[in-house]
Amino acid sequence: QVQLVESGGGLVQSGGSLRLSCAASGRTFTFSNYAMGWFRRAPGKEREFVAAIAWTNSTYYADSVKGRFTISRDNAKNTVYLQLNSLKPEDTAVYYCAVPRYSDSSYFASKNAYDYWGQGTQVTVSS
């Protein structure tokens, strides 16, 4: 079993920045061996892929956030981060971190390929 706890959400003006954190834990979970992903769900919409980072530190982004968001990880702290810059009102959503079932990056954008999810953290961007 893996526990994921997100933090860092909040209310920010358009053009502002936030940094989200996701702390992972589990008795038999070796964080450094796993890829990690971030998803978001806006009101009335499906949960969508935002970014992922492989255990190799290779990174992957949705086109809508490329160049504005940065995913990173600190294996010593069992934590994955998502830096959100140049925020837009359409970035308003609940942001979730998750652990994918496979290390193959071709699965990273599919929410059905993730086994463990955090409770989410709300990001609200005002215009």
Per-residue model confidence (pLDDT) at position 45: 96
Residue 79 confidence class, pLDDT cut points 50, 70, 90: very high
Nearest to 63 by CA among 18, 104, 95, 109: 109
How does pLDDT run across 33-72, given as a tens digit for each residue?
999 999 999 999 999 999 999 999 999 999 999 999 999 9
Give residue-wise pLDDT tens across range 5-33. 999 999 999 999 999 999 999 999 999 99
CA–CA gap between residue 1 and residue 63 (Å, rounded): 32
Provide the pLDDT for residue 89: 97
pLDDT value at position 17? 98
CA 37 – CA 65 distance, rounded (Å): 14
